[in-house]
Amino acid sequence: MKKLILLIFIGLVTYGVKAQNNDFKSSKTQFMIRGYGHTGYESITTNGVTESSYNGGSFSPIFLFKHSDRLMFETELEFEINEGNLNIGFEYADIMYVLNKYMTVRAGKFLLPFGTFMERLHPSWVNRMPTKPLGFGHDGIAPGSGVGVELRGAFRMGASTVNYSVYSTNGPGLKTPQGVEPIEAGMLNFENLIDNNNSTAIGGRIGLLPFSDSSTEIGFSVYSTNKVGDTGSIYENLEANLYALDFSFVKQIPSLGGTFDVKSQYNHSKIDNITYTIEETPGVFEDLIFNNESHSFYAQISYRPSMSGNDFVRKLEFVSRYSKLKTPTGSGFEADKKEYSFGLNYWISWRSLIKLNYQNISGTGGHDTIGGFNQNGVYIHWAIGF
């Protein structure tokens, strides 16, 4: 009997140790939550009227599910308090499968590689500035995400690295006088989650890192569709053609004692012309006829004295940005604006920073603005990636 009990005990202990070992053995399937968030204070004076407020911040969780070494699902949500309201955004949700060394397929809602800003640089802990450059985000002219399928990859060519992406998505819709914001008639609506006209958009980007140290990248992106309006509407067969050029240079330069980071992107958008009839006041109509062409540009440079012997100085970063947005003259969303921003960042860790920033945007027009526009803003943001 004692032998039996001893055998059972040894068996249980052995099973327990084995089970314990299994608990610590990593599985092929992994689930992670990562993401980023920010909070801060903003004081913005627009045409002489000042609004100051603590910024409730944002929380952007990213869920990663690695099914195997080739198959992965990623999704990002965005929770943001804006003007006292909680806005919830659905940034992307896509499945990715590595086909071979040179090709990966993605399907779902994904960030579009139209240039690099929206796909790579917009998260608050990555973006050196507290705001996006002109031309991006709400009322921007560059697409941020789309629903569809994409093939992407990278390969070596000599001592260069070439990366590429080609995709097909539902494409943009067109804001019309019958829409929610008639004043924006003629703008593309990139938040078009269903295909409104049985015509997909096609696009792609090719990037080249010409030097072996990956310090420099130049890219060219296109995005095109031959229908943007709703099926059956007079806008159905309007075409839209967009392209972007992007540049990046990041390198530690010992003779200057630190790291330089230069980023730049030019966006161009052309939509076929048509007359938009807007109801200015009840019963009073106005025809808006304009050349529907827009462009935007930004250039940003930052310097971090990463080779300084002083720990505090090493964590500082000086940054400045210029951006410009020009939308069609004669349209309801006509704007011609320039932005100059200067900032000082302090890196608490590799993924958390405090940004102190001054920003001036001046020009004419813009959303809900008639005539001149002058805005001065002071921002203090604290961002963290996790």
Partner 1 sequence: MKTFKIFGIAAVVIGILTALTLESCSTEQITAYKNRSGAQLWGENCVRCHNAPSPASYNDTDWRTIGLHMRIRANLTDDQAKKIFDFIRSAN
From the list 48-56, 154-162, 192-200, 355-363, the region that binds partner 1 by CB under 8 A is 154-162
* Residue closer to partner 1 (CB basis): 85 or 312: 312
The residue within the footprint of partner 1, chosen from 39, 59, 79, 120 (CB under 8 A), is 120
* Residue closer to partner 1 (CB basis): 67 or 338: 67
Integer Cα distance of 230 and 236 in angstroms: 5
Q: Least distance in Å: CB of 291 to partner 1?
A: 11
From the list 2-10, 134-142, 202-210, 337-345, the region that binds partner 1 by CB under 8 A is 202-210
* Residue closer to partner 1 (CB basis): 177 or 207: 207
- CA torsion angle 98 103 104 110 (round to 10): 170
Residue 107 engages partner 1 in binding (rule: CB under 8 A): no
From the list 64-72, 82-90, 273-281, 357-365, the region that binds partner 1 by CB under 8 A is 64-72
* Residue closer to partner 1 (CB basis): 183 or 319: 319
The residue within the footprint of partner 1, chosen from 93, 95, 166, 206 (CB under 8 A), is 206
Residue 270 engages partner 1 in binding (rule: CB under 8 A): yes
The residue within the footprint of partner 1, chosen from 18, 351, 372, 374 (CB under 8 A), is 351
Residue 313 engages partner 1 in binding (rule: CB under 8 A): no
Longest dimension (CA), the chain: 101
Q: 378, 365, 373: which is closest to 139 by C-alpha?
A: 365
Residue 91 engages partner 1 in binding (rule: CB under 8 A): no
Q: Least distance in Å: CB of 261 to partner 1?
A: 8
35: left (phi over 0), alpha (psi -120 to 50) or beta: left
Residue 42 engages partner 1 in binding (rule: CB under 8 A): no
**Residue whose pair of structure tokens reads 């295909």 in the numeric block:** 195
Q: Least distance in Å: CB of 313 to partner 1?
A: 16
The residue within the footprint of partner 1, chosen from 210, 318, 336, 376 (CB under 8 A), is 210
Burial class from Cβ neighbours inside 10 Å (0-12, 13-18, 19+) for residue 162 reads middle
The residue within the footprint of partner 1, chosen from 138, 350, 368, 371 (CB under 8 A), is 350
* Residue closer to partner 1 (CB basis): 104 or 176: 104
The residue within the footprint of partner 1, chosen from 7, 34, 82, 329 (CB under 8 A), is 34
Q: Among residue numbers 222 through 251, which ones bind partner 1 (CB under 8 A)?
A: 222, 241, 243, 245, 248, 250
Residue 299 engages partner 1 in binding (rule: CB under 8 A): no
Residue 290 engages partner 1 in binding (rule: CB under 8 A): no
- Contact residues toward partner 1 (CB under 8 A) are 26, 30, 32, 34, 64, 66, 69, 72, 74, 96, 98, 101-102, 104, 106, 119-121, 125-126, 152-165, 206-208, 210-215, 217-218, 220, 222, 241, 243, 245, 248, 250, 259, 261, 270, 347, 350-351, 385
